[in-house]
Amino acid sequence: MKTHTGYSMREKKLLNGWAECLNSIPWSSFCTFTCYHPLSKNAARVKMERMAENLKDQYSDTFRMFWVAEPFASKDYHVHSLIQLDCPAIATKQIIINEWHEVSPPVGYKKHNLVLVEEYEPAKGGHIYVAKYLQMQNIDYDIH
């Protein structure tokens, strides 16, 4: 796919299908994760796998996550995610922030390991946002 020329009709249909599928699943949060240090695609996978393991251990009955690592223009990566935890919204936000700071060194360096956690609202299109780059070759994604 050539991103500078946009998506083909086939690609748009596929991405819309992904977005519709993701929207059919209940989510509590839309999140964006960044790091102080440059984040590679492989490092993003390692961090998200660790985060998923930790959250699943604590919230096995209610935990669900879809994430996608996409590059900034600088080739460093950041991660967008949809997460389901059955907790009050304030607790969910703090749990997700704490978990990212745990898996993203330097551990506890909260000033630069930024986390944006918003309550998931389908009308805002978070499911579309995380699906927008799934056709690109230089991304990584997974569902837990």
- Indicate the CATH number of 3-143 among 3.30.70.1910, 3.90.330.10, 1.10.510.10, 3.40.50.1820: 3.30.70.1910
Q: SS3 of 54, please? A: helix
Place of tokens 């919204």: 89
Give the pTM.
0.87
Residues 6+ apart with CB under 8 A from 18: 131, 134
- CA-based torsion, 39, 80, 140, 105: positive or negative: positive
pLDDT tens-digit series, residues 71-107: 987 779 999 999 999 888 889 999 999 999 889 866 5
